Chain A
Amino acid sequence: MDIDRRTLLKAGLVLPMAATIPSLFARAAWAAEPGDRVLVLLQLEGGNDGLNTIVPVGHDAYHRLRPGLRIAEDQVIDLKDGVGLAPSLAGLRPLWDDGALAVVQGVGYPEPNRSHFTSTDIWHSASLDPSRRNTGWIGRMLDEESRGDGAVPGLQLDPGPLSLALVGEKTVVPSVRDARDFKVRGGDNAVARLEAAAGDAKGTDTLGFLRESARQAYSLSDSLERALDADRGRAGYPGSPLAQRLWQIARMVESGLPTRIYAVKLSGFDTHSLQKDAHAQLLRFLGDAVGAFYADLKKHGLDKRVLLVSYSEFGRRAKENRSLGTDHGAAAPVLVAGGAIRGGLHGAHPSLDDLQAGDLKHHTDFRQVYATILDRWLRADSESILGAKFKGVPFV
């Protein structure tokens, strides 16, 4: 039965059926909680220019600091309260209108570090102490939650090394370029043969554990293959790698995988010169991809299960440099998207008249954002994970 369906699917004969089968099948196999919440980490690598992402409206200082790079007020998408979205983030407009986009302003940490590496490590480890940056905040959360059942706790979809955020002591988070890498290679019926040979999972000994893992893995491979082969919902997505990865995540969420954490990345934000078009282009990728992702989730009734947070290791200097670019800075906004969040602006835009060594001052510690996500979204214990209690931000 199983094989027949796969064969038929490949032949494109039962595409309409495919819409319902994977999730039903996976649910049964995985017994994943339908209410399980999913977190998507979207890292903007290189230091995103927050000032040209969430743009101040009606501030003379902005025009003075950014004579060459400023975005005209009539172009920004007004968010009220003196700020607007950069026009290239138009893809996020529907989220804002739905109340599914939260903008946490002025996020940073004390004594900002301007090294890409160090600051990225600080964000990912959630630690200001250099000797405590061996594990990441999500990795530690997964360690605490670890069910030890061989399920994939988190997944990085990026060709690079595993993000420190996902590194735990007990948990191994896999990293793949493409979810299709989970396809089992082998001759015809490979999965069916391997599954039969693996035997039934019995007992709690190591062999039983391996058998159970194998069974789950084949089931995952099977449901992923169907979910991703079907091209379901793909039409709305742009062709960028980020968008394609988000599409895969939507399908994985839909097929009921127990994976709660996904990590993706958009690179190129280190815009030291002639930044305007380049930065706009990057934001377009961001906005269009996240916009398509949200629309897809919403259409399939999944938007309330998924929270996406985009962050960068630092913002950029308030004042543009002489190459029409911007140098490494400090505080910046964090964008949160999801159907079950409290959208809108959280916190004020950092003052352009009160800079600290040329940088915007933070008023919200990034660990407050983490604490919010850990406590209220993932229902974990932020205090033990972050090593201290941080006041939440009411976006969840």
Chain B
Amino acid sequence: MRTLLGLLIVACPLLAQGVEAQPEAAHRLAALAPADAVAFLEMNGITPKVVSVIDSDLGRAVAAHPIVKAIGESPQLGPVRLGLLALKDATDHDLESLTRALGSREMAIGIYPSRTGKKQPDVVFLARVDGPATDRFLKGLPLIVLRRSSEVVPAEGGRPAIRTFREKTFYYRDGDLLVVASHRDLAKHVRDHVGRSVADTAYYQGARTLAGDGRLMFGAVDLATLRAVLPRPKKAKDLGAALFQGTLSERLYGAPFLGIGVDLVESRGQWTLSAEALVPRTESEGPLQASFGGKLEPLPFELPEHTAAVLRMRRDLEAVWSHKDAVIAEAGIPGLVQLETTFTALSGGMNFVEEFLPAFGKELTILATRPVYTALEAPAVQYPHVALIGRMTKVEGMETKLTIAFQTTIGIVNAQRAQQGEKPFLIAPEIYAGQVIQSARYLPPDAMEMSGMEGKGLPVRYNIAPSLAIVGGHLVIASSPELIKRLIDGQGKSGVLGGVNAGLWLDGTETRKLLEANRDALVAQNMISKGHSKAEAEQEVGGLIDLGRFIRRFELSVEEGRRAHGLRFEIVAAAPKE
């Protein structure tokens, strides 16, 4: 199952590749499905080329990826898993015959409330199929689904006859239409065209309007109906989580429907897969939404060389703070009070709420770069250099207080680290291009610490040299003064990554190199935490790194439009060689 989900995440949109897009084709299937589907997913065509994609290194790397596995196992995907049931075992069993059987035409999956009152939903799978291969496929179906030969018996009279095995799977074929359902009534309703269809529903039509026609894959979800059974989204555990997730889940929960569109473009040897999930914009936005809303200005820094990832969000910290009870779970509140006090105490009395937060502009950026070390100074495990960048509206008077806060914090951290047996930082401010960078670093290791470690690299602490500066009206807190210097160099240059409300950008190449540099450490961690043998650990870590060979870029963004809010992601991957 996991393997299949992994594959499908990448493959579903690919299924359409190689076919002249026939946007209206799958749409016609919606007109056949009963109207009470809570979700309806359409795919426009399928091609033998998919086989080559799934069977490629990319396909295998994706399927083996721990994140993909985790997604595949997540309980929220239960209905989807069931929806893919018919495909699943078939795919595992004989991918090529399935592809050929269903080749070059459209298909759709509808998810329905259980016809028997169970927790698990019922599912119908509709596909346009052709030719003799389909017959062969259908003959093999019981074998595939039940993993053993089983007698197929007629289940319903009428024409065409609906057949079943084990009263678990019901199907019929009508010309080029193949219908497989998990309940006889579903199959029957499709065949007999009882009542309204999905295509007639308001949510389906609304989703189509949002996601637009001509998508290679399209989905519509009836949130208004699902809301009755879905739990209300939980408040965030802490401030970080609250800032990160914003009001997305609330919006999703409150929206009448969700439209999903997926596109795939192949050009010059690379695939660009993009997907959007959109909900209609509500008329009135409360103050809570407003504090998380708005569009980011472009980052007024040139991205430093070797930037591996950038996370940006537009958040009105002061407003978020004042709504903290509404967005953060009760258990997280004492932590915030602690933060407030600690900050106020550390910064020599700069009041966190009244002074510090209002001085913040509404933009937060976290940037990670791949560090480049000389052989002598390279740590055995290499962390990315990370910078937290916050736009400030008021800089005057801040510098001194922040310096105090920085130095006091280092003092406290040193005291705590000593308790854990870790070495202290030495405070060592620097001046670069006329700018003061507050920084703290470790003394070089002593000879004994390095004995037996020749050629293995420095201890891991040399990754971290906490640093702070105010650069071009932005407060920058970084894990290395070098990164701050690169930002100083790149001030005011080409602004990028604006126009959305929040976004994550990942560079595949840099990320892979970062992982590559840490291969041994990842293997060691894997062995310790998972109890794997070295060979197993190397294989798993290798698979993760291999994935990076194909993924060139990944983007995930929260966007605010005039008509819709949405989540958008885009993966650019190297096209698999044929």
The answer to whether the Cβ of A378 comes within 8 Å of any Cβ in the partner chain is no
The answer to whether the Cβ of A325 comes within 8 Å of any Cβ in the partner chain is yes
Given contacts A239-B334, A275-B349, contact A282 B341 (CB under 8 A): yes
The complex places the Cα of A282 from the Cα of B336 at a distance, in Å, of 15
The answer to whether the Cβ of A268 comes within 8 Å of any Cβ in the partner chain is yes
The answer to whether the Cβ of A272 comes within 8 Å of any Cβ in the partner chain is yes
The answer to whether the Cβ of A183 comes within 8 Å of any Cβ in the partner chain is no
Contact present for A240 and B348 (CB under 8 Å)? no
B412's partner among A238, A270, A276 (CB-CB below 8 A) is A270
The complex places the Cα of A281 from the Cα of B415 at a distance, in Å, of 22
Contact present for A116 and B415 (CB under 8 Å)? yes
The answer to whether the Cβ of B411 comes within 8 Å of any Cβ in the partner chain is yes
What per-residue 1/0 map shows which CB atoms of A265-295 lie under 8 Å from chain B?
A: 0001011111111110110010000000000
Contact present for A161 and B404 (CB under 8 Å)? no
The answer to whether the Cβ of A351 comes within 8 Å of any Cβ in the partner chain is no
The answer to whether the Cβ of A244 comes within 8 Å of any Cβ in the partner chain is yes
Contact present for A274 and B349 (CB under 8 Å)? yes
By a CB distance below 8 angstroms, the chain B residues around A161 are 419
A-B contact number at CB 8 A = 62
By a CB distance below 8 angstroms, the chain B residues around A272 are 408
The complex places the Cα of A375 from the Cα of B347 at a distance, in Å, of 42
Contact present for B415 and A268 (CB under 8 Å)? no
Contact present for B348 and A273 (CB under 8 Å)? yes
By a CB distance below 8 angstroms, the chain B residues around A344 are none
Chain A nearest CB, measured from B215 CB (Å): 44
The interface size bin for chain A is 20 to 34
The complex places the Cα of A324 from the Cα of B412 at a distance, in Å, of 19
By a CB distance below 8 angstroms, the chain B residues around A270 are 408, 411-412
Chain A nearest CB, measured from B480 CB (Å): 26
By a CB distance below 8 angstroms, the chain A residues around B341 are 240, 268, 281-282, 285
Contact present for A240 and B408 (CB under 8 Å)? no
Contact present for B334 and A278 (CB under 8 Å)? no
What per-residue 1/0 map shows which CB atoms of B332-360 lie under 8 Å from chain A?
A: 01111110011011111111000000000
The answer to whether the Cβ of A241 comes within 8 Å of any Cβ in the partner chain is yes
By a CB distance below 8 angstroms, the chain A residues around B415 are 116-117
Chain B nearest CB, measured from A279 CB (Å): 8
Contact present for B333 and A239 (CB under 8 Å)? yes
The complex places the Cα of A250 from the Cα of B335 at a distance, in Å, of 21
By a CB distance below 8 angstroms, the chain B residues around A275 are 348-349
A268's partner among B335, B337, B342 (CB-CB below 8 A) is B342
Chain B nearest CB, measured from A278 CB (Å): 4
Given contacts A270-B411, A270-B412, A273-B408, contact A278 B349 (CB under 8 A): yes
**Which residues on B are within 8 Å of A, measured CB to CB?**
333-338, 341-342, 344-351, 401, 404, 408, 411-412, 415, 418-419
Sampled A-B contacts (21; CB under 8 Å)? A240-B334, A240-B341, A244-B334, A268-B346, A270-B408, A272-B408, A273-B404, A274-B347, A274-B401, A275-B349, A276-B349, A277-B348, A277-B349, A277-B350, A278-B344, A278-B345, A278-B347, A278-B348, A279-B345, A281-B341, A282-B341
